[in-house]
Amino acid sequence: GQSLEQPSEVTAVEGAIVQINCTYQTSGFYGLSWYQQHDGGAPTFLSYNGLDGLEETGRFSSFLSRSDSYGYLLLQELQMKDSASYFCAGWMDSSYKLIFGSGTRLLVRP
Amino acid sequence: GAVVSQHPSRVICKSGTSVKIECRSLDFQATTMFWYRQFPKQSLMLMATSNEGSKATYEQGVEKDKFLINHASLTLSTLTVTSAHPEDSSFYICSARQLQGSIHEQYFGPGTRLTVT
């Protein structure tokens, strides 16, 4: 089967750094993306890892280790507007389908 | 940037009726569109993959006769929920992949909230 697991909820303080982990069990997987979704809204793209290692985009960074079937999203200098749900999503070989992880609800406190 | 629209944004229908949801790529051609369903506080679950000019490919457990998908052009895919029941109430989101884009780029529509009474 294909599954990507994330912690269900994370709480952090404004200005802090938070890491959201994603572990996966799947075959035929070739890359990992991260999406942000505010309540009632569409997922918005944050980052993509096609290779092992760290990708940095502004306040967001994402990491992938294929050998460990593991990735994470790092959010720095947290702002109140970062309170949202975050999903890792795996790209499947051949079909190019995007399979979403279980999702993490991030709450940023003042 | 690439924009995907959905119509309607919200729809309420009575049990037993059918409702059609449109997904359009506004400024690019999409070879492939995907339909997802999301229940409250849950993840996005892929329902089907829609390729222009061919039959949709449905994920395991998704009834193809209930969720009719048509991808008649490179900019439009439609999802019709037939004989809707209250358990079909959900947030339906489409996404599209560009004809010439990178494989991993997928653009999401704003979603359609369906309520079946």
The tens digit of pLDDT for each residue in B12-26 reads: 999 999 999 999 999
Q: Give the percent of chain A with pLDDT over 70.
A: 95
Cβ–Cβ gap A96/B103 under 8 Å: yes
Mind listing the pLDDT tens digit for each residue in B51-105?
888 889 999 999 999 999 998 888 999 999 999 999 999 999 999 987 666 666 7
Preferred mutation among A96, A104, A105 to probe B, highest tally of B CBs within 10 A: A96
Cβ–Cβ gap B44/A91 under 8 Å: no
pLDDT of residue B97: 84
| d(C-alpha A62, C-alpha B51), whole Å | 30
**Residue contacts between A and B (CB atoms, under 8 Å):** 49
Cβ–Cβ gap A98/B45 under 8 Å: no
| d(C-alpha A87, C-alpha B52), whole Å | 28
Distance in Å, alpha carbon of A6 to nearest chain B alpha carbon: 11
Distance in Å, alpha carbon of A91 to nearest chain B alpha carbon: 7
pLDDT of residue B103: 65
Q: What angle do CA B91, A101, B106 make, to 5 degrees?
A: 70
pLDDT of residue B53: 82
Which residues of B fall within a CB distance of 8 Å from A96? 32, 97, 103
Which residues of B fall within a CB distance of 8 Å from A45? 105-107
In 3-state terms, what secondary structure has residue B62? coil
Is the sign of the CA dihedral A31, B75, B88, B90 positive or negative? positive
pLDDT of B8 above 90 = yes
With beta carbons less than 8 A apart as the criterion, state whether B2 and B107 touch: yes
| d(C-alpha B63, C-alpha A35), whole Å | 27
| d(C-alpha A105, C-alpha A83), whole Å | 8
Which tokens in the block code for residue A23?
A: 């572990």
